[in-house]
Amino acid sequence: MKDKSSYMSINTDRSKSDSLPGWSLLKAEEVAEILKVSLSTVYEWRRIGELPGVQMGTSVRFTRADVEAFVRDRRGTSGRRCFQ
């Protein structure tokens, strides 16, 4: 039988992104908190294709790079651009 400690060797430190640089995955709730919008707004932006998301089973995750690009693309706009 294997030692239980061998099962615990998975890196759970979210600050490390050695395997996928730039691919820090965020939950929709985290994106909403970062952008100071409602959770339904985040899902609406994903539904209309404004904010790309990664489907993982029944969950959706967003890359930090995509969220940053989303913000960069909208600097200087009225904020209504997403729904026009």
Whether 7 shows a pLDDT value over 70: the answer reads no
* H-helix or E-strand spanning residue 24: none
Q: What's the pTM value of the predicted model, to 2 decimals? A: 0.64
The CA-atom distances, in angstroms, between 35 and each of 4, 8, 68 are 40, 34, 10
Query: Class for domain 24-75, per CATH?
Result: mainly alpha
Each domain of the chain, given as residue ranges in start order, spans: 24-75
Decide if 62 contacts 54 (C-beta within 8 A).
Answer: yes
Interval 26-81: pLDDT, tens: 999 999 999 999 999 999 999 999 999 999 899 999 999 999 999 999 887 655 55
Decide if 17 contacts 23 (C-beta within 8 A).
Answer: yes
Q: What is the pLDDT of residue 75?
A: 83
Axis crossing angle, helix 39-47 with helix 28-35, rounded to the nearest 10: 110
Q: How far is Cα 81 from Cα 71, in angstroms, rounded to an integer?
A: 12
Q: How far is Cα 43 from Cα 22, in angstroms, rounded to an integer?
A: 22
